A and B are shown apart, each in its own frame.
Chain A
Amino acid sequence: MSPRELFDRAHRLVRDYDVDGFAELFAPDAVMQYPFAPAGSPRRLEGQEAIRAFLATGVERARLSGRRIRGLGPVVVHETSDPEVIVVEFDQEEENTAAGRSRQVSFIQVIRVRDGRIVSYRDYMDYPALGELSAGFPPSDPVA
Chain B
Amino acid sequence: MSEPREVVERLQRCIRRDDRASVAELLAADGVVEWPFAVPGAPRRLEGREAFREFMARSAAASTLQLEDLRVVAIHETADPEVIVMETATCGTVTATGHHFELPAIAVLRVRGGEIVSWRDYVNTLARTQLTAESAS
A residues engaging B (CB < 8 A)? 35-36, 38, 78-82, 85, 87, 89, 106, 108, 110, 122, 124, 126-129, 142
- Of the candidate stretches B9-17, B52-60, B76-84, the one touching chain A is B76-84
| Contact A126–B37 (Cβ < 8 Å) | yes
Does B1 belong to the interface (CB within 8 Å)?
A: no
| 14 further A-B pairs in the complex, CB-CB below 8 A; given A35-B124, A82-B76, A124-B122 | A35-B87, A78-B79, A78-B83, A80-B76, A80-B79, A81-B77, A81-B79, A89-B36, A108-B108, A108-B122, A110-B76, A110-B87, A124-B106, A126-B37
A14 CA to B11 CA, complexed, in Å: 36
Collect the chain B residues with CB atoms within 8 Å of residue A142's CB. Answer: 126
Q: Mark B102-131, 1 if CB is under 8 A from A, else 0.
A: 001010100000000000101011110000
Least CB distance, B44 to chain A, in whole angstroms: 10
Considering the complex, give the chain A residue whose CB is closest to the CB of B2: A81
Collect the chain A residues with CB atoms within 8 Å of residue B80's CB. Answer: 78
5 CB contacts below 8 A, A to B, read A35-B87, A36-B124, A81-B79, A124-B104, A126-B36
